[in-house]
Chain A
Amino acid sequence: MLNRELTRRRFLQALGASGAAGALAGLLPEQLLALARPLPAGEPILVSLYLGGGLDAAHLLVPTGANDYGHYVDQRGALAVSLASTLPLTADASLNAVMPRLHARAQAGEVAFVRGVDLLGANGFDPLSHFDKTDYVMSGRSSPGGPSGVWARWADTQPDNPLLLSTVSFGVPRMFAGGVKAQATSLPASLDYALGAGSTQDERLLAAALSDVAGFYSANPAALEARAAQTGKFAIEVASDLSSVYPGVQPGESSLGRNLNVIASLVNANLTGTRVYATVLGGFDTHENQRYDLEQKLLPDLDASLEAFFGSLADPQQVVVMVWTEFGRRPQANVSGTDHGAANDVIVIGPRVAGGVYGRQPSFDPLQLDVNRNLRGSTAFESVYAELIDAFLGGDSRTVLGGAFAPVGFLR
């Protein structure tokens, strides 16, 4: 945000002029590709898009049902989305008009909105803490049961591939961490000027030297120093093998647009064998200024970036995007925002999705709220994961989730 896109362009220009940069083309041994595994045509790929901070889903998918809208307006007051500012979707749900592209895609039957999703029967953590709640959602568990992430446990059941789970500009989040096998990596948003991508001789010599260093730490591979060495070698391989398929920086591209553009390019190139990608858009913790932040900045960015993403895919049939957030917002508004809430919507997008609105809309009726005056969920987060595993990615959700969860039915 805040002119970062402009900064990147300016940065690249300045660095090119400084002489620190090399030229293009990958020249190192293709060890990375040897480890990775191109996917068979049409192999399903999941993209997890985390909206950090807790999206107010009711501001996106407005509950317009006869029993809902009045309570929603009562609770939210001036912050409520007026019906005139929505695009109708079903008898009891309308989409905020700042998302026309998502609306068109929903009309085409490619978007599932799952309402009232939460960790049901949650205990052992603070459900209103961003960080506690996010960790548990990412773990796919409603109570303390170990620190591993839901996609890391799924990856443990899949063939070995160091790039099976890949994030772009997202570190390695909890949902990819703690597996038995190390199959998650974090990729940069740009490989311009990355070591390994250049072709000048001095740069090649430097890359070879820093790659060799990793071999000196094999005695104790778990030590931090050894991990730093291995990561350097891996980073050089990534740059060498992937820089030619990384997209150029587009004018006006947001950071979310950029991250999704990189993911689309990697999917199209089919070099890495990645089955689950993840990226993040932050800024949804709208305790104040909610209408402006959501309607003028975040939701339009989300709308445009998702549309551009699907437009860039060679085979959209292959891909499902899961848009999720840690919790919803408190029904009763503050002056211009909302505090931390509970049940919320998950949005699932792609041609393989059976479009529609699923799950029960949690009631905004003050008498129906939970002990913290928040919305009550009715669909377990684990059910969303279970369906994505059993009906899309492949695998056994009971192994991954430690129990059987009924699918929602949002996949064809």
Chain B
Amino acid sequence: MLNIDDVAHLCRRAGFGASDAEVRFLAAEHATLASLVDALLADARLAAAPVYATPPPDVSPPSCVGVEPYFETQALGRWVLDRMAQSRFVLSFVTTNGVRKKKKRKKLLKQRAAEEAANRHQPHPLREKMTLFWHGLLVSSLDKDLVYCHHSTLRKQNLLFRDRALGDFGALLSATSIDPAMLYYLDNWISTASNPNENYGRELLELFSLGVGNYAHDDVIAASRAGTGYTILPATGVDPIFYGPAHDYGDKTFFARTGNWDLVGNAGGQGTLDLVEHLVTAGGAGAIAARTLARLLWQFFAHFTPSAALVDELAAAALASGRVNVRDALRAVFTHAEFYASATRTGKVRNPVEFVVGLLRALALPAPYDAAQRLDVVQYLMSDMGIQLFHQPNVFGWWRRPETRWVHVPGFQAKQLTAGYLAVVATQNAAHALRSWVRGTPESALDAMFGALGAPQAAASQVRARGVQLMNDLRAAGADETTLAIRVFQFAAASPPAQMA
């Protein structure tokens, strides 16, 4: 039996939280955190390609000319938000806890496997979370016109991140290097032997793998030359191709080795050296890339300031196979004692995506869309919180900044307004749980809301008491049920306990 708080913490950070029932089930099933983490990572949903009950929206025509395509592109953001909000760690509550008899146990496990198989379309929280990680690291953004004009490429890129979310880092980096949205976003599609463009080569080394100080400008030039010829089929505008005549087959010196470097090793030619492969293997620069990835994973899942020793330890695990492996790195993160330490638990604020997903889960709502007005209020307000999905402001990943990045005046206003808007949507349903919560005592209403919001610590007693007072004040002022539901929910959602990750 594991500590309930540890399991709840793991579910919040590795996913988007879990219900009490899920947490209790997982705690009872496992004797150690290592066993729980291994079981989560061994989930059949992570072993195979994802199954989509609802495929991602095939958004409108690949053209900039049209009326307000901005609204159409938000459909993909809603699909992603819904996947996150619907994700579940536990697909079956069949428990083997306390069952000693082998035969009985086997039967129960079989029954559990059947239930899990029947629910395979339920998104796995860690795959969703890692897809968000890559969305914020390997950036391609609609704010660039060419991506915007070909926004179906972002749908494809998001599926690529999902498929390869938890595997070999090199395989993901190779696929991303020749992914159409990335080819457009960092201009590699236009890079040719006679006119190499340094945008992708630089960010591949600076932001995606090694980090500033671990390469020279000449390495950037070599990487850029190695990527020439990887472009997009003009006839469709959305399909990747390799165009040999534009590729630079000449000798390039990359990390002091001279040869026919090629970005992903596919161009052929004598003695081709695979550049991305060099970045991710122990024989190349893999030790540096492993440290970068380890630091970033810790910052994304735990807190922003890992010690150098901790990064080294995690990096060693990431590179244990000789190649940088995401799953190996994640296991090291989630099983590390420091991951469960107090400084980690209090060291993270929900980023805008986590905050909004938390609201959607609390109210069991799909990401709303006002079709009559063609308006996506929630995603609109997310930009005031600091990030709107698929509209990353620049190539520097949006979550790669200290936690205080999410604590500011416009963000607070956007958060309380989003909570209010979603509460309005929820209360339009006369049978919604939010209405029943405020029919009871103020104490039970506040507990129900903080519970549904998955606030990490039980709301501090003073905060809860102030919420109770608010509800009493509103009642005394003659507020109707709808107003009560909206205002008390806004209080809970915008209060500090519900902003913490």
Interface residues of A in 172-219 (CB under 8 A from B): 172, 185-189, 191, 193-195, 201-203, 205-206, 209-210, 212-213, 216-217
* B384 / chain A contacts, CB cutoff of 8 Å: 188-189
A332 (CB) vs chain B CBs: closest residue:
B195
In the complex the two chains form, is A14's CB within 8 Å of B375's CB?
A: yes
In the complex the two chains form, is B198's CB within 8 Å of A340's CB?
A: yes
Min Cβ gap A168→B in Å is: 9
Min Cβ gap B491→A in Å is: 6
Most buried by A among B196, B374, B473: B473
A295 close to B (CB within 8 Å):
no
Which of A152-160, A228-236, A313-321 is near enough to bind chain B? A228-236
Our pick among B196, B346, B467 for the contact of A225 (Cβ within 8 Å) is B346
B477 close to A (CB within 8 Å):
yes
Min Cβ gap A201→B in Å is: 5
* B349 / chain A contacts, CB cutoff of 8 Å: 224, 228
A291 close to B (CB within 8 Å):
no
A230 (CB) vs chain B CBs: closest residue:
B407
In the complex the two chains form, is B491's CB within 8 Å of A229's CB?
A: no
Contact with A along B133-175 (1 / 0, CB 8 A): 0000000001101101000000000000000000000000000
In the complex the two chains form, is A224's CB within 8 Å of B421's CB?
A: no
B412 close to A (CB within 8 Å):
yes
B218 (CB) vs chain A CBs: closest residue:
A372
Min Cβ gap B307→A in Å is: 18
A71 close to B (CB within 8 Å):
no
A224 in contact with B377 given A169-B410, A205-B487 (CB within 8 Å): no
Question: Cα distance A206–B467 when bound, in Å?
Answer: 9
Which of A3-11, A33-41, A304-312, A355-363 is near enough to bind chain B? A3-11
Contact with A along B372-408 (1 / 0, CB 8 A): 0111010010001010000001111000000111011
Min Cβ gap A18→B in Å is: 5
Min Cβ gap B92→A in Å is: 35
In the complex the two chains form, is B409's CB within 8 Å of A238's CB?
A: yes
Our pick among B68, B407, B490 for the contact of A224 (Cβ within 8 Å) is B407
Question: Cα distance A1–B348 when bound, in Å?
Answer: 31
Question: Cα distance A334–B473 when bound, in Å?
Answer: 65
* B374 / chain A contacts, CB cutoff of 8 Å: 10
In the complex the two chains form, is B393's CB within 8 Å of A337's CB?
A: no
A289 close to B (CB within 8 Å):
yes
Question: Cα distance A2–B190 when bound, in Å?
Answer: 23
B6 close to A (CB within 8 Å):
no
In the complex the two chains form, is A185's CB within 8 Å of B417's CB?
A: no
* A19 / chain B contacts, CB cutoff of 8 Å: 424
Our pick among A14, A202, A217, A336 for the contact of B190 (Cβ within 8 Å) is A336
* A335 / chain B contacts, CB cutoff of 8 Å: 190, 192, 195, 197
Which of A125-133, A269-277, A380-388, A400-408 is near enough to bind chain B? A125-133
Which of B98-106, B117-125, B493-501 is near enough to bind chain A? B493-501
In the complex the two chains form, is A209's CB within 8 Å of B409's CB?
A: no
Min Cβ gap B150→A in Å is: 14
In the complex the two chains form, is A202's CB within 8 Å of B460's CB?
A: no
A228 in contact with B407 given A131-B396, A282-B393 (CB within 8 Å): yes
Our pick among B195, B373, B414 for the contact of A14 (Cβ within 8 Å) is B373
B341 close to A (CB within 8 Å):
no
A339 in contact with B470 given A10-B375, A14-B370 (CB within 8 Å): no
B460 (CB) vs chain A CBs: closest residue:
A216
In the complex the two chains form, is B373's CB within 8 Å of A10's CB?
A: yes
Interface residues of A in 130-180 (CB under 8 A from B): 130-132, 169, 171-172
Question: Cα distance A402–B145 when bound, in Å?
Answer: 42
* A283 / chain B contacts, CB cutoff of 8 Å: 143
A15 close to B (CB within 8 Å):
yes
Our pick among B187, B396, B421 for the contact of A288 (Cβ within 8 Å) is B187
Question: Cα distance A240–B194 when bound, in Å?
Answer: 59
In the complex the two chains form, is A206's CB within 8 Å of B490's CB?
A: yes
In the complex the two chains form, is B495's CB within 8 Å of A213's CB?
A: yes
A249 close to B (CB within 8 Å):
no
Our pick among B68, B146, B408, B416 for the contact of A171 (Cβ within 8 Å) is B408
Interface residues of A in 319-365 (CB under 8 A from B): 330, 334-337, 339-340
* B396 / chain A contacts, CB cutoff of 8 Å: 130-131
Interface residues of B in 291-349 (CB under 8 A from A): 346-349
B70 close to A (CB within 8 Å):
yes
Size category of the B interface is: 35 or more
A202 in contact with B479 given A20-B420, A288-B190 (CB within 8 Å): yes
Question: Cα distance A212–B469 when bound, in Å?
Answer: 11
Question: Cα distance A353–B486 when bound, in Å?
Answer: 52
Interface residues of A in 14-52 (CB under 8 A from B): 14-15, 18-20, 52
Our pick among A53, A209, A229, A289 for the contact of B469 (Cβ within 8 Å) is A209
Size category of the A interface is: 35 or more
* B347 / chain A contacts, CB cutoff of 8 Å: 224
B212 close to A (CB within 8 Å):
yes
Min Cβ gap B453→A in Å is: 14
Question: Cα distance A334–B496 when bound, in Å?
Answer: 50
* A225 / chain B contacts, CB cutoff of 8 Å: 346, 496-497, 499-500
Min Cβ gap B9→A in Å is: 15
In the complex the two chains form, is A185's CB within 8 Å of B409's CB?
A: yes
A226 close to B (CB within 8 Å):
yes
In the complex the two chains form, is A340's CB within 8 Å of B474's CB?
A: no
* B220 / chain A contacts, CB cutoff of 8 Å: 128
A122 close to B (CB within 8 Å):
no
In the complex the two chains form, is B202's CB within 8 Å of A334's CB?
A: no
Contact with A along B189-207 (1 / 0, CB 8 A): 0111001111100100011
A223 close to B (CB within 8 Å):
yes
* A125 / chain B contacts, CB cutoff of 8 Å: 212-213
B379 (CB) vs chain A CBs: closest residue:
A7
In the complex the two chains form, is A1's CB within 8 Å of B187's CB?
A: no
Question: Cα distance A225–B459 when bound, in Å?
Answer: 11
B462 close to A (CB within 8 Å):
yes
In the complex the two chains form, is B496's CB within 8 Å of A132's CB?
A: no
In the complex the two chains form, is B496's CB within 8 Å of A229's CB?
A: yes
In the complex the two chains form, is A128's CB within 8 Å of B474's CB?
A: no
B476 (CB) vs chain A CBs: closest residue:
A205
In the complex the two chains form, is A186's CB within 8 Å of B410's CB?
A: yes
A101 close to B (CB within 8 Å):
no
In the complex the two chains form, is A235's CB within 8 Å of B412's CB?
A: yes
Our pick among A3, A6, A189, A232 for the contact of B494 (Cβ within 8 Å) is A232
Question: Cα distance A132–B68 when bound, in Å?
Answer: 36
A227 close to B (CB within 8 Å):
yes
A213 in contact with B463 given A289-B146, A336-B190 (CB within 8 Å): yes
In the complex the two chains form, is B68's CB within 8 Å of A205's CB?
A: no
Question: Cα distance A228–B146 when bound, in Å?
Answer: 38
Question: Cα distance A330–B490 when bound, in Å?
Answer: 50
In the complex the two chains form, is A52's CB within 8 Å of B198's CB?
A: no
A60 close to B (CB within 8 Å):
no
Question: Cα distance A216–B386 when bound, in Å?
Answer: 26
In the complex the two chains form, is B495's CB within 8 Å of A130's CB?
A: no
* B405 / chain A contacts, CB cutoff of 8 Å: 171
Our pick among B380, B410, B412, B491 for the contact of A11 (Cβ within 8 Å) is B380
In the complex the two chains form, is B375's CB within 8 Å of A202's CB?
A: no
A193 in contact with B417 given A205-B473, A224-B346, A225-B346 (CB within 8 Å): yes
Contact with B along A277-298 (1 / 0, CB 8 A): 0000011010111000100000
Question: Cα distance A216–B465 when bound, in Å?
Answer: 11
* B490 / chain A contacts, CB cutoff of 8 Å: 195, 206
* B107 / chain A contacts, CB cutoff of 8 Å: none
A288 in contact with B424 given A185-B409, A239-B413 (CB within 8 Å): no
Across the A-B interface, the 5 shortest Cβ-Cβ residue pairs = A188-B410, A209-B470, A235-B412, A216-B462, A287-B199
User: What are 16 A-to-B residue pairs whose CB atoms are below 8 Å?
Assistant: A2-B143, A7-B375, A10-B375, A13-B373, A128-B220, A131-B207, A202-B487, A205-B477, A213-B466, A225-B497, A227-B404, A231-B407, A231-B408, A330-B198, A334-B195, A335-B197
Beyond the given A224-B347, A235-B413, A340-B202, could you list 8 further A-B residue pairs with CB under 8 A, ordered by the A residue number?
A7-B70, A20-B486, A194-B413, A209-B491, A216-B463, A229-B496, A238-B409, A288-B190
